[in-house]
Amino acid sequence: MSPAHPTHVRAADDDPDDDQLVAELTGLLAEVDGFAELAERMALLSDERRLRILFCLHAHPGVRSSDVARVIDAHESTTSHALALLRDAGWVRARRVGREVRYELADAFVHDLLHDLGSDHLPGVHHSHDRP
């Protein structure tokens, strides 16, 4: 994002005075619940290994943990532990396919966030609304 082109602009031409701005922001924050939970959930993204795992699951939903471990050059136990943390935090879900467990992103929020972070899909992987 270019600093010369901000994403958001104020609709009114006049800026509120400082006290009004503080009051508006205080009211806005008071209406939002769950900052602690959100911060805890987002903290999981600060680990490079977990972020790489999420990129893998975004690129190809339904991948096995052992395959992810090979891709990120990590031990299977380390990868399984990271997947468990991500699952507990609501980032991913496990799906049993026969005797295998496969992992995928848990919801659209995670999917959209990963797109915003620069993750892409492998060829042949499309959004459900993109299917012919």
pLDDT at 37: 85
Q: Is there a domain that residue 30 lies in?
A: no
pLDDT digit string (tens) for 106-125?
A: 999 899 999 988 898 888 88
Residue 1 domain-assigned? no
pLDDT tens digits for 18-43?
999 899 889 999 998 888 888 888 88
Average pLDDT over residues 9-20: 78
Distance CA 59, CA 77 (A): 22
The CATH number for 98's domain is 1.10.10.10
Average pLDDT over residues 69-83: 96
The residue with greater pLDDT, 5 or 105, is 105
* H runs (alpha helix) in 8-107: 18-30, 35-43, 48-59, 65-72, 76-88
Grouping H, G, I as helix, E, B as strand and the rest as coil, residue 99 is coil
Per-residue confidence (pLDDT) for residue 64, from 0 to 100: 95
Token look-up 């459900």 returns: 128
Asked if the structure places residue 67 within a domain, the reply is yes
Beta-bridged to residue 39, according to DSSP, are: none
Q: How many domains, in total, are found in the chain?
A: 1
